[in-house]
Structure 1
Amino acid sequence: MTAGEDFSPPLQEYSGLPRGPLSERMPGQAVIEELLASHQLDPPRGRLGRLFGVRPLGVETTPWYWGALGELEVGRILGSLGPEWTVLHAVPVGNRSSDIDHVVIGPSGIFTLNTKRHAGQSVWTAKGTFLVAGKRQPYIRNSVYEADRAAKLLSAAVGRDLRASAGIVIVGAKSVTVKEKHQTVAVLTPRQLVRWLTRRSPVLTPQQVAIISAAAVRPETWKRNPPVLQVPGLVASEFAALGRIIDQARRRRIGWALAMLLTAFGLLSGVLPTLLAGSLLSP
C-alpha cells in the first residue's frame, strides 16, 4: 500500500485516531501480569527476612520484573510521539500467551518493537547474528516473524496489503555494537528510537493511519478468540505496590551493609592504634 491509496468505502468512515481496548493497555502489561502471577508462587518472607531486606522476588520471577522495567522505559519514550501516532503496548497475538511488546503506527509506517533489557551487558549484532555477553540469542529471527505476523493480521483486517518494520530496543546495556545492519530489523538504543521512527519519509496518509489504527486497537484483529483483558489500572496498582516492597528491601540491604562497614571501621580505628601503641612501647 502506498500513501494516498484509497481503502474500501466502509473503512473510509473512520476519521481521527480511534481508541479501543488495546489502546488502554500499559507498557509491559503482559510481562507484569506474568510477574504478578509468578510472584504468588514465591516463598513468603518471614519477619527476619523482611527486617534484613531479603529479596521478595524468586529466581524465576526476577527476570519478569526487569523485563517490565525495560518495557516501561520504552513506553515512556514512545509517549513522546505526536498525536498523529498510535502506540499500542503488550498486544496479545497468536494462540498462546504471546504478545508484541509495542505496535506503533504513524506517517512513516507500521512498526513492531521488541524490548530487551540487558543491564550492564555487552550486545553485539551483525545481520542475523545477535550476541548478549557472547551468547547467541534468537532476537533477529523472532523480530522478523513478529513484524510479518503483524503485517498479515492488519492486512486481513483492512483488506489491503501492508508491511511492518521490526525494531529491537536494547535497554540498559553496557554497550551496543551494530557491526552490520540487518536488512529488515533495526537494533536500537532508547535514545535512537524516536529518531528512527520519525526521520523516515511518510508512507501513510492521516486517513490510512486512522484506518489501520482502528483495526489495530481491536483484540479480534490479533487473536481469533481474544482473552478477557485485565484492567490496566489494577495491574499498575499491584505492580506499584510490589515495586515499593522491592525498593524497601533494597534500601534495607544497603542500610545493613553500611552499618556493617561502619562497625568494622569503628573496630579497626579503635584496635589498630592500640596495637601500634603496644608494639612501640614493648621492649
Structure 2
Amino acid sequence: MPRSTPSAEPRSDRLTERETFETTLPAPSARVASITRRMLAPMSEPEPSTEFARVPAASVITACLSAQASVAPRSALAKLFGRSPLSADSRPWYLGALGERRVAKRLDALGDEWTVLHSVPIGERGSDIDHVALGPPGLFTVNTKFHEDATMWVGNRRLLVNGQPTDHLRNARFEAQRVTRLMTTVTGIPVTVTPILAIVGARDITFKEHPADVIVLREGELARWLKRRQAALAPTDRERLATAVARQETWMPKPAASTTHQVAAFESLQRDVEQAHRVRRLWSAGALITGIGIAAAVAGNAYSGLISALIGG
C-alpha cells in the first residue's frame, strides 16, 4: 500500500482494510494462474535476481529517507550538542528499519538448509512482508515490531503495547494466510504458513496466554525456536517451495527497483544518529561530573566552616 507517515510506531498495519478483505477471497486471479504456468516450466529458466528480497527493511528504509529528505541539515552548534538528525516523522521509520535489520541478522544465520527473504513485496499496492523463512520445519512469515523500552501484554487474541491495543496479531495472521493461499496455488502443494511476531526493543513482555495461531517471540529467541522445530516438509516439497519463494515473479509482476543506494544513505544516517547519541552521553557525563565536583566543593567548604567554628568556640 502507498506509505504514509506513521503516527506512533512504524508500519503498525501492513494491510489496508481492502487488502484484509481480499485475503478472504478464495478465487485466484489471472496473474496467479500465469505464475502457476511459469512455475511448471523447466528448471532451466533464468535464476531469480540475486538482489530480490535480499535487502532487509528495504521498504521501510525508503519511507525513512523520504521523511528525512525534508529535514534541514543540522547546524554546527546542533552537532556540537548532539541533537539527533532525525525528525519526528522519520524517527518511527528509522526504528522500524533498525528492528527489521536486527531480525534479518538472526534469520540469515539459520544455515544452508533455510531460504530467507526480507522485505518481500507482495501484490501491486506496495505491501510487503518483513521476512519469509523456509526450512525443514516449514514456511514462516515473520512480522517485526520495534517497541523501544515498551511494556507489552500478550493474550490469545490481543496484544497491548504500553496499555494500548494493537493489530499486530491480526496482521501477522493475515500475512500468513495470504502467503498460504499464494504458495498453495503456485506450487500445487498444500502449504500451511506459520506467522511469527518478532519483538525488538521491548523492556518487558507479559504472556497472559500464548496466541493459538501466531508465535510471539523476542528477537533473540527467533533463530533458536526455528532450529528446534521438527522437520515437517519432504525434501522434494521443500525444494519446490524454495524455488517458488525465491522467484520474484511469484510475488509481484514487475521487477523491484534496486535499493543499494538507499541502503548506503540509510547507513550514513545511522552513523550520524549514533554519533549524536554518543555526544549527548558525553555531555551528560560531563554534567554529572561537574555536579559532583560542585557538590563536593560545597560540602568541603561547609565542613571547613564547621571545623573553624568548633575550634574558635
TM range (shorter): 0.7 to 0.9
**Is the Cα contact below 8 Å between 1:126 and 1:180 reproduced in 2?**
yes
* Aligned with 2:276 (options 246, 249, 270): 249
User: Cα distance, 1:259 vs. partner?
Assistant: 2.0
Equivalences for 1:1-283 in 2 at 5 Å?
11=40, 14=43, 20-21=49-50, 23=52, 25-224=54-253, 226=254, 228-232=256-260, 234-278=261-305, 281=308
Aligned-partner SS, 1:166: strand
Structure 1, 236-245 or 143-152: larger mean CA deviation: 236-245
Task: State the Cα deviation string for residues 19-73 of structure 1 (Å, max 9, x = none).
Answer: 5356552222221221122111223211211111111101121111211221112
In the alignment, the residues of structure 1 paired with residue 42 and residue 287 of structure 2 have an alpha-carbon distance, to the nearest angstrom, of 69
Residues 166, 156 of structure 1: alpha-carbon distance in 2 compared, 3 angstrom cutoff: same
User: Cα distance, 1:260 vs. partner?
Assistant: 2.1
Task: State the Cα deviation string for residues 189-228 of structure 1 (Å, max 9, x = none).
Answer: 223322432333323223322222222223332234x363
User: Cα distance, 1:108 vs. partner?
Assistant: 1.4
In the alignment, the residues of structure 2 paired with residue 122 and residue 68 of structure 1 have an alpha-carbon distance, to the nearest angstrom, of 20
In the alignment, the residues of structure 1 paired with residue 187 and residue 162 of structure 2 have an alpha-carbon distance, to the nearest angstrom, of 42
Ranges of 4+ aligned residues in structure 1 off by more than 6 Å: 7-10
**Is the Cα contact below 8 Å between 1:105 and 1:111 reproduced in 2?**
yes
Residues 271, 200 of structure 1: alpha-carbon distance in 2 compared, 3 angstrom cutoff: closer
Higher relative contact order (CA 8 A, sep 6+): 1
Match of 2:3 in 1: none
**Is the Cα contact below 8 Å between 2:39 and 2:187 reproduced in 1?**
no
Instruction: Give the TM-score of the pair, scaled to structure 2.
Output: 0.78
**Is the Cα contact below 8 Å between 1:121 and 1:133 reproduced in 2?**
yes
In the alignment, the residues of structure 1 paired with residue 227 and residue 303 of structure 2 have an alpha-carbon distance, to the nearest angstrom, of 68
User: Cα distance, 1:146 vs. partner?
Assistant: 0.3
In the alignment, the residues of structure 1 paired with residue 41 and residue 191 of structure 2 have an alpha-carbon distance, to the nearest angstrom, of 17
For the aligned residue pairs, the C-alpha RMSD in angstroms reads: 2.6
User: Cα distance, 1:172 vs. partner?
Assistant: 2.2
Name stretches of at least 5 consecutive residues in structure 1 with no aligned partner.
1-6
User: Cα distance, 1:173 vs. partner?
Assistant: 1.7
Identity score, percent? 37
Q: How many residues align?
A: 273
Name stretches of at least 5 consecutive residues in structure 2 with no aligned partner.
1-35
User: Cα distance, 1:164 vs. partner?
Assistant: 0.9
Task: State the Cα deviation string for residues 73-93 of structure 1 (Å, max 9, x = none).
Answer: 211111221212100000012
In the alignment, the residues of structure 2 paired with residue 136 and residue 124 of structure 1 have an alpha-carbon distance, to the nearest angstrom, of 9
User: Cα distance, 1:275 vs. partner?
Assistant: 4.1
**Is the Cα contact below 8 Å between 2:53 and 2:119 reproduced in 1?**
no
Task: State the Cα deviation string for residues 119-139 of structure 1 (Å, max 9, x = none).
Answer: 322221111111112111111
In the alignment, the residues of structure 2 paired with residue 136 and residue 78 of structure 1 have an alpha-carbon distance, to the nearest angstrom, of 28
**Is the Cα contact below 8 Å between 2:53 and 2:120 reproduced in 1?**
no
